[in-house]
Amino acid sequence: MRIAIAAVGRMKSGPERELVSRYLDRAVASGKPLALTGFEVFELNESRAGSAAARKVEEAKGLRAALPEGIVVGLDERGKSVSSEAFAGLLQRWRDEGRPAVSFVIGGADGIDPDYVRTMDMTLSFSPMVWPHQLVRIMLAEQLYRATTILAGHPYHRGD
């Protein structure tokens, strides 16, 4: 199953981009024997529309166009919080169901268009706090790597 991250906004070169790359490279290596592939990042430019609502609608169109067919998970502070083990379990279940891909969507500064969120398979929250998209991308990349290690029985994850 292919894993994709679609984010509104571009990360500049620097330690944040390097950290995302490091975790995704590890996820590629540990995910391959598990039939988890890709771990691609699609970056979309932020909309320059005049209102927040118009920006979100325009960004949602770009996000939809960038994503492979499959499960769509939005990252939003109002989403469902799950443990690392449960997150790994979701990936495993979707893979075992034969889903072609799972895409994780990180919205822009205004968030994700509510109409688009309603069409998603799931919304996921790392916290009820709002985080900058750079940090969300780092946390997601780390959790994807952690999920592959959990599924592989690797000692990286040392939960209870």
CATH number for the domain that contains residue 11 = 3.40.1280.10
Asked if residue 90 is part of any domain, the answer here is yes
Asked if residue 160 is part of any domain, the answer here is no
Asked if residue 6 is part of any domain, the answer here is yes
CA atoms within 13 A on the CB side of 19: 15
Tens-digit pLDDT profile for residues 60-110: 999 999 999 999 999 999 999 999 999 999 999 999 999 999 999 999 989
Question: Which DSSP symbol is given to 138?
Answer: H
pLDDT over threshold 70, residue 159: no
Matching residue, tokens 């960004």: 59
Residue type, 109: A
Give me the domain span that covers residue 128.
2-152
Binding-site positions: 75, 107, 126-131
Binding-site positions for S-adenosyl-L-methionine: 75, 107, 126-131
Dump strand ranges (E) for 45-136.
71-80, 101-106, 122-124
- How many domains does the chain contain in total? 1
The predicted structure's pLDDT at residue 158: 61
The predicted structure's pLDDT at residue 154: 83
The three-state secondary structure class of 79 is strand
Asked if residue 158 is part of any domain, the answer here is no
